[in-house]
Amino acid sequence: MGLYLLDYGAGNVQSLANSLTALGHSFQWIKDPADFAKATSLIFPGVGAFETAIGHLVSRGLFQPLREYILSGRPYFGICIGMQVLFESSAEATSKGLGIIPCPIERFSDEDKAVPHMGWNAADLITTQQDAEGVNASSYYYFVHSYCAKYNPEKYPEAMRWVHSTTQYGQEVFVSSVRKGNVFATQFHPEKSGKAGLALIDEWLRKPESAHTHAPSAPLVSRPPAPKHKLTKRIVACMDVRANDQGDLVVTKGDQYDVREKATTTTANTAGAVRNLGKPVALAAKYYNAGADELCLLNITSFRHSPLQDQPMLAVVRAAAECVFVPLTIGGGIKDTVDPDGTKRPALEVAGAYFRAGADKVSIGSEAVYAVEKLRASGKATSDGTGAIETIAHVYGKQAVVVSIDPRRVYVDPQTYDGPYKSELVYGKPDGPENERGKAWWYQCTVSGGRETRPLSVVELAQGVETLGAGEILVNSIDRDGTGLGFDLDLVNLIKKSVKIPVVASSGAGTAQHFVDVFQRTDVEAALAAGIFHREEVRISEVKELLRSADINVRDN
């Protein structure tokens, strides 16, 4: 008897398990239908695609037992897809949901905003007359979804009696949590919502099970409470990871992607060595506690070997996920690989290993370039669906797939240039940096960490990966990497204006002001830095303090 977790085998449930362990709660896993009878309370952390979730529940004989458990009146806590399956259906899938809440799940409009809704937003209680269930209107919670239950009391009055909180994204108000009888479920991920989310999980678990069985229906209100917040801007701390010359995995940092110490800046015995800025797990924990909204671990030499053979990287992810309760993105080597013994490893299997280790998103670099080149060469509008982006997005949801772009500027003489990508040219300003004056440039894609340029522009790559199903784009810049000169705002704007999915600006941050600049002068949802955080030149709290003073919405720790 006791608390059980339901894992349908296609999502990062490890994060929830890590949260419960960190909070001191024991639990068991539902492994087959008979286990439901032993559960006196159940948490279903659903990550990924609705179709995949329903498909796995049905194929494992868990779908009906789940419905029977919920209808038995025992406490149920659903998370993300674990909330959406309570509804009748989803526009994301042909499969039906449990139909316990009589209304459909629909897709966000992307007319006025990026989709998926990815980041930290508030959850506004529909009434303060009821038990808040740990939902704190002044906290921020992590959302990552393209579909939602839209708040619509006129069309779905019975369903809206389940509403516990609503959230506004763009011009749309949707149901961010439901609570009625023995059911409590959140669209956001409390296990990835830092201290506020952990407090919510802990509150639900510390209550006696009898306290979770008779939650009253919500009042039907024509308009939900005025949202107090909007989506915050995200600050991402990035750790470029590789083995140093002694074979230890270290956090390194490139200077325009060159990670080796220069003779001029170090003592003779470290000249040429791989820069060592610390241990990955220790730095991940440090940045989580310092208020980073997301962490990114990039295995920058993974192109040399199969990441599944690279057990140290999986061990780093597993260890980091045990002490970090905000989203964790893992990049490097997410592609079809062949092990030294000839075993083929599809990208989906490589990604699955990282998700099971506790990653929330995987970042694809080189493979995305090749996939878009292949798509463009086919002359078709869509691919054959067998590539890394498509297969991972299909199983884990597009929000789990980030594409990391490694562009390098190609300078041309604007007076005489007659080459490709004229529409993407950026022109140097007379009062701009000396190396830009009188010149123009476009941005060329590279693979293998900038070691090889490819016949593809960043706009072609960005729009190509959006077509293939990527959920977010990480825009690096080889020219700005490690320079401290600030983000390449021309590059960031060029990409942000060419896609409808969220974009993360990266490379070049040197001061807190650079974060204000990128959020004031582009529409990116997030900004990433590495060197200034590793070298402790700027603290994350200082960045957020300056952003708040510029009236830019950011999450408190």
List the binding residues. 80, 333, 476
Q: Can you say how many angstroms the Cα of residue 106 is from the centroid of all Cα atoms in its chain?
A: 21
Looking at beta carbons only, is 185 or 251 nearer to ligand 1PR?
Answer: 251
Token output for 427:
């022109």
Residue 287 touches ligand 1PR, criterion: CB under 6 A? no
Minimum distance of ligand 1PR from residue 457's CB (angstroms): 17
**Contact (CB, 8 A) for 74 and 66:** no
The owner of tokens 């476009």 is: 442
| H/E element, 424 | none
Q: Residues in the chain, how many?
A: 557
Q: Which is nearer to ligand 1PR, 383 or 507 (CB)?
A: 507
Judged by CB under 6 A, which stretch of 102-110, 165-173, 227-235, 364-372 contacts ligand 1PR? 364-372
Helix (H) or strand (E) holding 269: none
Residues 366-425 that bind ligand 1PR (CB under 6 A): 366-367, 404, 406
The residue within the footprint of ligand 1PR, chosen from 45, 280, 291, 332 (CB under 6 A), is 332
507 touches ligand 1PR (CB under 6 A): yes
- Of 261, 373, 466, 481, which one interacts with ligand 1PR (CB under 6 A)? 481
In this chain, which residue has its C-beta nearest to ligand 1PR? 449
Judged by CB under 6 A, which of 334, 475, 499, 543 binds ligand 1PR?
Answer: 334
Q: What angle do CA 296, 501, 98 make, to 5 degrees?
A: 90
CB of 507 to ligand 1PR, least distance (A): 3
Task: Choose, by CB under 6 A, the member of 75, 82, 116, 365 that binds ligand 1PR.
Answer: 365
List binding-site positions for L-glutamine. 80
Binders in 224-283 for ligand 1PR, by CB under 6 A: 238, 240, 253-254, 257, 259
CA torsion angle 493 499 502 508 (round to 10): -30
Spatial distance between the Cα atoms of 306 and 312, rounded to a whole number of angstroms: 12
Alpha-carbon distance of 149 to 160, in angstroms, equals 10
Beta bridge partners of 184: 77, 179
Whose CA is closest to 143, among 123, 172, 113, 171? Answer: 123
Q: Which residues are catalytic, by number? A: 80, 189, 191, 240, 406
Tell whether residue 512 is a contact of ligand 1PR (CB under 6 A): no
Contact assessment for residue 100 and residue 183, using Cβ atoms and an 8 Å cutoff: yes
Parallel, antiparallel or unpaired: strands 337-338 and 328-331: unpaired
Pairwise CA distance, residues 454 & 495, whole Å? 17
Q: Which of 19, 232, 337, 363 binds ligand 1PR (CB under 6 A)?
A: 363
Give me the least distance between CB of 193 and ligand 1PR, in Å please.
24
Give the interface with ligand 1PR as residue ranges (CB under 6 A): 238, 240, 253-254, 257, 259, 298, 300, 302-303, 331-334, 363-367, 404, 406, 449, 476, 481-482, 506-509, 528-531
